[in-house]
């Protein structure tokens, strides 16, 4: 997506900003993903070509416009002078540059891994699964994934 967004117009497509009522530091991608899918389907129905570089740039811009201010707000509220970004989100050039600019402007130290170390968390989960398996921690096929399950439940 990041490579595709290069040269795209980040203002071409209006995508919603992801806010969670009553939780100013939280955000949800569900509305953004739905809007992106609706935009794609609408273009398909009208048989119009979607400007993919601009679509990717608009999506990255919408994420950065919500993520960066929240990271800065969290640092302010907690009194931290440092922010670390990792995982796949830290590989996005729009988010990286917006974080760098915001941190520089506020005097906050930013820790960003090199791009070669910014991967999707699937690799981290797979690695942990390997160690859990090695330790004999396994389950059967009755298990299911729960995105919001409390960690202390097991």
pLDDT-derived band at 138 (thresholds 50, 70, 90) equals confident
Has residue 150 been placed in a domain? no
pLDDT-derived band at 134 (thresholds 50, 70, 90) equals very high
Any residues with CB less than 8 A from the CB of 116 and at least 6 apart, and which? none
Q: What is the DSSP letter of 87?
A: S
Has residue 99 been placed in a domain? yes
Has residue 61 been placed in a domain? yes
Q: How many domains does the chain have?
A: 1
Has residue 154 been placed in a domain? no
* CATH code of the domain containing 108: 3.30.420.40
- Domain of residue 72: give its range: 2-137
Over residues 72-96, the pLDDT tens digits come to 999 999 999 999 998 888 889 999 9
pLDDT-derived band at 29 (thresholds 50, 70, 90) equals confident
Has residue 109 been placed in a domain? yes
Average pLDDT of the residues in 17-44:
86
The CA distance from 88 to 154, in Å, is 26
Any residues with CB less than 8 A from the CB of 68 and at least 6 apart, and which? 95, 98, 99, 102
Whole-number pLDDT of residue 152: 66
Has residue 128 been placed in a domain? yes
């Amino acid at each position: 997506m990041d490579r595709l967004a290069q040269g795209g117009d980040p203002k071409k497509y209006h995508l919603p900003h992801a806010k969670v009522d009553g939780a100013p530091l939280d955000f949800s991608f569900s509305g953004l993903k739905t809007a992106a899918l609706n935009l794609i389907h609408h273009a398909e129905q009208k048989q119009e070509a979607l400007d993919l570089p601009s679509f990717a740039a608009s999506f990255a811009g919408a994420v950065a416009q919500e993520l960066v201010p929240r990271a800065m707000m969290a640092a302010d509220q907690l009194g931290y002078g440092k922010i670390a970004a990792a995982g796949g989100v830290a590989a996005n050039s729009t988010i990286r540059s917006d974080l760098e600019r915001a941190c520089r402007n506020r005097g906050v130290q930013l820790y960003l891994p090199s791009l070669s170390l910014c991967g999707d968390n699937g690799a981290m989960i797979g690695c942990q699964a390997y160690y859990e398996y090695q330790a004999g921690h396994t389950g059967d096929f009755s298990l299911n994934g729960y995105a919001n399950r409390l960690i202390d439940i097991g």
